[in-house]
Structure 1
Amino acid sequence: MDRFGHTSRTRPPVVLTVPGLNNSGPGHWQTNWETTRGDCERVDLGRWSSPNRNAWVTRLDAAIREIDGPVILAAHSLGCITVAWWGALQSQAYGWPVTGALLVAPPDCDRVETPDMIGNFGPVPRSQLPFPSILVASRDDPYIFFERAHSMGKYWGSQFVDAGYCGHINADSGLGDWQFGQSLLDRLIDDAQTRAASADPGLPAIRPTAARRGTQEMHVQG
């Protein structure tokens, strides 16, 4: 228990950002969140330009295990597939230590024209993730058909969010700090803290972070 009365399970979640191929550079929402939010840190998956599925999943697992408390994953592109493989290969109890995941613009690694460098991440896992998740997809993402992204969300048990026309939802999309994405992340954080408080009735009530940031209109599909 720390000086605020938190046990490892009731501490505020650490947000691990999980980039995709070639990492996330300047102007990417992941990079911006790491600079501005204070609760985000990047997972170094290594070999950014020549990824290997097993190596990336192993590095993600090591990063999760280093944290003494709840973890939320904020993944982009191939990082989403890495998270899906971690969830399929690990045997964590539902919602612990990973308490949620924001999965943004996963690519379709099963398409015939998929480059070899990411094709080794296929076939895309079809098992439900052992934590709550939100999958965000763009209608004009060049790396996946919108309907295919929706199907992935069903496989993984994710809430599906239609981001409109944002390309690959990366630095080229010009999203800046991507407040819409942060509202989704804050929802996952709030839900995780609410579940922790419910499990420990001695904890004080938690003020939702999403309310502090304000809400944004979105198209959500179940």
Structure 2
Amino acid sequence: MKQKTSPSILIVPGLRDHVPEHWQTLLQATLPNAVSVAPLERDKLSRAARVAALDAALAAIHGPVILVAHSAGVMITVHWARWHEREIHGALLATPPDLERPMPAGYPTVDVLRQNDWFPCPHQPLPFPSIVAASRNDPLAQFDRVVAMANDWGSRLVDLGEVGHLNPAAGFGEWPMAETLIRELL
């Protein structure tokens, strides 16, 4: 009888990479089978470099994988899915940004994102099960735009209510619901 292997959890951070008090960093520390995409040393805004880093992290993992992406990490994941055929067990896609609309001060402009090849945003269904966790007051994306993304990707939408961008600035360190949603993907 073949023993079932638990999927590895691959954390896909956003453009700010690894923030010590972020729920993804804290989650990785609590799950024995979790690893993270390594931070980029250069080309930090390049979509191609970010997708290549995700692909390299996946190449180092043998067996099933669940992706846990936040913010621009969601966009990295959906861009990766367009061009790669690695089997993915599932993905938790938390608070994707709407990169096609201007974002608050301190974030890359639409022109900078365009120069770094982030457009167009993929609208194709993902080839693996996914859950989009959406905030009703995310400063980086209007709720209706995230609903449209989830529909395009064939993802189940989870309405988180008003949680901002689900990051330390919005009051989130630990996010226990992440583990619940990951278990749904098992």
What is residue 92 of structure 2 aligned with on the other side? Answer: 102
Q: Does 1:130 align with 2:90?
A: no
What is residue 157 of structure 1 aligned with on the other side? Answer: 154
**Match for 2:71: what amino acid?**
S
Point out where structure 2 has 5 or more consecutive residues left out of the alignment. none
Tell me: CA distance 1:118–1:104, structure 2 relative to 1, closer, same or farther (3 Å).
farther
Tell me: CA distance 1:176–1:48, structure 2 relative to 1, closer, same or farther (3 Å).
farther
Q: Does 1:70 align with 2:64?
A: yes
Q: Please list every run of at least 4 consecutive aligned residues from structure 1 whose deviation after the TM superposition is greater than 6 angstroms.
A: none
Task: Give the secondary-structure state (helix, strand or coil) at the position aligned to 1:79.
Answer: helix
Which structure would you say has the larger Rg? 1
Task: Give the secondary-structure state (helix, strand or coil) at the position aligned to 1:177.
Answer: coil
Task: Give the secondary-structure state (helix, strand or coil) at the position aligned to 2:93.
Answer: strand
What is residue 78 of structure 2 aligned with on the other side? Answer: 84
Percent identity among equivalent residues?
39
- Cα deviation, residue 49, structure 1: 8.1
Paired residues of 1:22 and 1:48 also in contact (CA < 8 A) = no
Paired residues of 2:44 and 2:50 also in contact (CA < 8 A) = no
> Relative contact order: is structure 1 or structure 2 higher (C-alpha 8 Å, sep ≥ 6)?
2
With the length of structure 2 as denominator, give the TM-score of the two structures.
0.88
**Match for 2:91: what amino acid?**
A
The alignment yields a C-alpha RMSD, in angstroms, of 1.9
Paired residues of 2:164 and 2:170 also in contact (CA < 8 A) = yes
Task: Give the secondary-structure state (helix, strand or coil) at the position aligned to 1:12.
Answer: coil
| Partner Cα distance (1:117, 1:130) in 2 | 29
Between the two proteins, the alignment pairs up a number of residues equal to: 179
| Partner Cα distance (2:31, 2:98) in 1 | 30
What is residue 181 of structure 1 aligned with on the other side? Answer: 178
Q: Give the counterpart of 1:53 among 41, 47, 53.
A: 47
What is residue 111 of structure 1 aligned with on the other side? Answer: 101
What is residue 24 of structure 2 aligned with on the other side? Answer: 30
Tell me: CA distance 1:151–1:47, structure 2 relative to 1, closer, same or farther (3 Å).
farther
Tell me: CA distance 1:65–1:20, structure 2 relative to 1, closer, same or farther (3 Å).
same
- Cα deviation, residue 47, structure 1: 4.2
Tell me: CA distance 1:37–1:53, structure 2 relative to 1, closer, same or farther (3 Å).
same
- Cα deviation, residue 35, structure 1: 1.1
- Cα deviation, residue 135, structure 1: 0.3
Point out where structure 1 has 5 or more consecutive residues left out of the alignment. 190-222
With the length of structure 1 as denominator, give the TM-score of the two structures.
0.75
Task: Give the secondary-structure state (helix, strand or coil) at the position aligned to 1:60.
Answer: helix
Where do 1:131-150 residues align within 5 Å?
131-150=128-147
Q: Does 1:19 align with 2:13?
A: yes
| Partner Cα distance (1:63, 1:22) in 2 | 18
Task: Give the secondary-structure state (helix, strand or coil) at the position aligned to 2:152.
Answer: helix
- Cα deviation, residue 117, structure 1: 4.3
- Cα deviation, residue 48, structure 1: 7.5
